[in-house]
């Protein structure tokens, strides 16, 4: 049986990299990037301190939707985010079974440019 804390290996990369990038994308819908980033950081930390794997997966799906629906000019941020989030779904399979909504999110991320990191083939 998987330990209830086992999913906590997932958030650190997202906590470090995602808020500023996602803020750039999300802020196109209104609000300042700084405010969006601060709110994202707070939400991620709340999940780390109080959440569980299901809540984390729900957050990933939401983030994937923002990335997928983004229609602005920052294609590089969109592509990097899509790759990070897609890796999260791939890694999460070690602790939860992906469901149809997760697979939908992955398809969205693929359309948004998710690719393996440079030189990842070893």
Q: Where do contacts with another protein occur on this chain (CB under 8 A)?
A: 3, 5-6, 8-12, 15-16, 45-46, 48-50, 119, 122
CB of 48 to another protein, least distance (A): 6
Taking the complex as a whole, the smallest distance from the CB of residue 122 to another protein amounts, in Å, to 5
Whole-number Å distance between alpha carbons of 14 and 60 = 10
Sequence-separated (6 or more) residues with CB below 8 Å from residue 42: none
- Write the CB contacts of 102 (distance below 8 Å, at least 6 apart in sequence): 57, 60, 61, 89, 92
In the complex, the smallest distance separating the C-beta of residue 73 from another protein, rounded to whole angstroms, is: 24
Q: CB-wise, 14 or 82, nearer to another protein?
A: 14
Nearer to another protein, 79 or 107 (CB): 79
Beta carbon nearer to another protein, 44 or 68: 44
Which H, E and C letters describe 23-52, residue by residue?
HHHHHHHCCCHHHHHHHHHHHHHHHHHHCC
Write down the least CB distance from residue 15 to another protein, Å.
6
């Amino acid at each position: 049986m998987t330990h209830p804390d086992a999913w906590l290996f997932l958030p650190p990369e997202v906590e470090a990299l995602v808020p500023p990038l996602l803020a750039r994308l999300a802020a196109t819908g209104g609000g300042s990037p700084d405010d969006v980033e601060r709110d994202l950081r707070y939400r991620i930390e709340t999940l780390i301190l109080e959440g569980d794997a299901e809540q984390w997966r729900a957050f990933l799906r939401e983030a994937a939707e923002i990335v997928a629906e983004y229609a602005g000019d920052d294609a590089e941020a969109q592509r990097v985010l899509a790759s990070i989030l897609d890796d999260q779904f791939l890694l999460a399979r070690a602790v939860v079974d992906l469901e149809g909504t997760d697979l939908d999110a992955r398809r969205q991320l693929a359309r948004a440019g998710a690719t393996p990191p440079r030189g990842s083939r070893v």
